[in-house]
Structure 1
Amino acid sequence: MSALTTTPAAAGPALKVTQGRVLRSEFTKFRSLRSTAYTLLTAVVLMVGLGAVFAAVTASQYHTFNAAARASFNPITTSLGGVMFAVVAFGVLGVLVASGEYSTGMIRASLTAVPRRLPVLWGKLAVFAGVIFPVSLIASFISFFLGQVLLNSHHIGVSISAPGALRSVVGAALYITVAGLIGVSLGALFRNTAAGIATFAGVFFVIPPLASLLPSSISGNLTPYLPSNAGAALWGGAQNAQNALAPWTGFALLCGYAVVLIAAAAWRLRRSDA
């Protein structure tokens, strides 16, 4: 009588960790957080709502403008005025994307599943940019067209085909996206939500007005190169700054800041424990 032998069933192929799977994982985490929807809604309301307020107030007060004020008036940047406030909300969301996992301790599970570590950071950056750019682009177009409707009530609006209009509208979305990526890198670098948000708000919302209070010989050589003013040159938000950079030059400098911070965050992720 021969013994009955059984052969164990072949195990299914092990799933490899790929950048595509990490991206899907990061997108699932991004959309599952309630803070994502609330912060995005806040940012869009700020961008569209404040832009409309600026346009409406400007339209109603335009008849009181003197010749110099009328000469410097720009209907495009007026309708996009909410960008400079919305960028803080988008930046806060960027910080939360990276720092949130550190505050809950979930980052250990993510890095255990992805031992090479860096694909996690690349996934967060890609998912954030892939969501924020279309959302901010739609909000930018709404801000522009709504603002021009309000300005046209006093015959001072322009069309999207006006010189610099389309570049400013798309540029506002690019500016917001790259600024938000800086927020993600700050969250990954500091690994602390409060520190990341405070640094982002300070760089984009506090330092620029303080720098403008310095003597003109200093502020004129400093303020154009601050991240907020450099990036805002693309959509016209830095038009009143001394020695403002050319639009694409300023945006390239903002991208340079983002690359440096992303590199620093990647270095810390590889070198230090979670």
Structure 2
Amino acid sequence: MSAHVTEPPRRPEHPQVRTRLRPRAGATRLGATARSEWIKLWSVRSAPAALAAAVLVVVVGGFVLGAGYRSGWASLSPGDRRSFDPTFTSLRGVQLAQLFVGSLGVLALTGEYATGLIRTTLAATPQRAQVLAVKALVLGLVVWALCTAASFAAFAIGQSQFTGPVPHASPGGPGVLRAVLGGGIFLTLVVLFGMALGALTRSTPLGLASLFGVLLVLPVAVQLLPGSVGERVDPYLPGEAGSQLWRVVPPSPHSLAPWTGAGLFALYVAVAAGAALVLVRRRDV
């Protein structure tokens, strides 16, 4: 006589358990996109060259300007001595570095359009907002890390040149640490701004012309405005507003506070990035 054995009924699997056991497709896709953008960044020859040039001019600028002010301190007027900002002087290489990192931001987008690689990128990751966000994240983190390190190096080298009667700054001084960190933050905003302009124009010449126009030509044009209009408008320009973050002594009574200026520059970047995202979603490629 055989006994009939029945299996106990299987308990239905809870939906949350299935979700935990199922691979996270979104996280996997995000990681793959980040790896792809990391590889693309370092596979383009202009990217390492632009980053190296930016770091070099910041660090070398700290030494050259520090040595120049040390040797020429005696010939400065009393007014120039009173307005002397040792922190800003050692970080003035950031003014030239912004052109290199801004150009890198433009080329990060326009290079893909020029080669047609953007089609492959969007085919692999159709979520266009994710592509732009991850590209910005990877590029921004690289620029922030390298340029912040360069800012600290430039500050240390520059202050070491300020000997004798030349005043020098210490990291614990009012606003000094903020200014040194601000050099890296400012250049990070510049590369993101360049990237947004590249996405808007999809053309390297147009993107670079727009970038240089905003950072270099526009401040000169504003200074040509009649009366004191130029002096009042200038602090609200993107580059001038953002540069307050790596200054200790404000250059003008109309200058914005450091974090206010940085916030305004970040707003310019956000508006440009938002417009770029809208256009990227509407365009075929």
**Is TM > 0.5 for Structure 1 vs Structure 2?**
yes
Tell me, yes or no, if structure 1 residue 87 matches structure 2 residue 74.
Answer: no
SS at match of 2:245: coil
Residue in structure 2 matched with residue 266 of structure 1 by the alignment: 277
CA distance in 2, matches of 1:155, 1:239: 19
Find the structure with the greater CA-based Rg.
2
Q: Of the candidates 114, 127, 131, which is equivalent to residue 116 of structure 1?
A: 127
Output the TM-score relative to the length of structure 2: 0.87
Task: Confirm or deny that 1:245 pairs with 2:256.
Answer: yes
Q: Which runs of 5+ in 1 are unaligned?
A: 1-12
Provide the alpha-carbon RMSD of the alignment: 1.8
Equivalent-residue separation in structure 2 for 1:75 and 1:14 (angstroms): 51
Is it true that 1:161 corresponds to 2:147 in the alignment? no
Residue deviations 1:33-54, cap 9 Å, x none?
Answer: 1111111111111112223222
Say yes or no: does 1:60 pair with 2:85.
no
Count matched residues.
262
Please tell me whether residue 36 in structure 1 is matched to residue 47 in structure 2: yes
Structure-1 separation of matches of 2:167 and 2:198: 42
Mapping 1:8-19, distance limit 5 Å: 18-19=29-30
Question: Which residue in the other structure is 1:182 paired with?
Answer: 193
Q: What amino acid is the match of 2:278?
A: W
- Aligned partners of 2:179 and 2:248 also within 8 Å: no
Percent identity over the alignment is 39
Does the CA contact (< 8 Å) of 2:105 and 2:192 recur in 1? yes
Q: Distance in 2 between matches of 1:14 and 1:20?
A: 11
CA contact 1:230–1:238 (8 Å) conserved in 2: no
Q: Which moved more, 1:16-25 or 1:228-237?
A: 16-25
Structure 1 residues 202-217: aligned runs within 5 Å:
202-217=213-228
Counterparts in 2 of 1:238 and 1:98: CA distance versus 1, 3 Å: farther
Give, in whole Å, the separation in 1 of the partners of 2:133 and 2:258.
27
Q: Quick one: distance in 2 between partners of 1:65 and 1:221? A: 28
Structure 2's unaligned 5+ residue stretches are 1-22
Q: Per-residue deviation at 1:169?
A: 0.3
Which residue number in structure 1 is paired with residue 142 of structure 2?
A: 131
1:210 shift after superposition: 2.9
CA contact (8 A) 2:176 2:248 kept: no
2:151 equivalent to 1:140: yes
Q: Distance in 1 between matches of 2:168 and 2:135?
A: 39
**1:191 pairs with one of 202, 213, 218:** 202
CA distance in 2, matches of 1:92, 1:268: 21
CA deviations over 1:132-176 (Å, ceiling 9, x no partner) = 001000000011000001112554222111211100000111011
The answer to whether the Cα contact below 8 Å between 1:56 and 1:150 also exists between their aligned partners in 2 is: yes
1:233 alignment partner, SS class: helix
- Hey, what's the Cα distance between the residues in 2 that align with 1:241 and 1:272? 43
Question: Structure 1 residues 40, 224: closer, same or farther in 2, change over 3 A?
Answer: same
Q: CA deviation at 1:66?
A: 2.0
* Offset at residue 83 of structure 1 (A): 0.6
Instruction: Give the match for residue 201 of structure 1.
Output: 212
Q: Give yes or no for contact 1:140–1:170 (8 Å, CA) kept in 2.
A: yes
Consecutive aligned runs of 4 or more in structure 1 exceeding 3 Å deviation: 13-17
- Give the distance between the partners of 1:153 and 1:98, measured in 2 at CA: 48
Tell me which residue corresponds to 2:229: 218
Distance in 2 (alpha carbons) for counterparts of 1:135 and 1:67: 37
Aligned residue type for 1:28: I
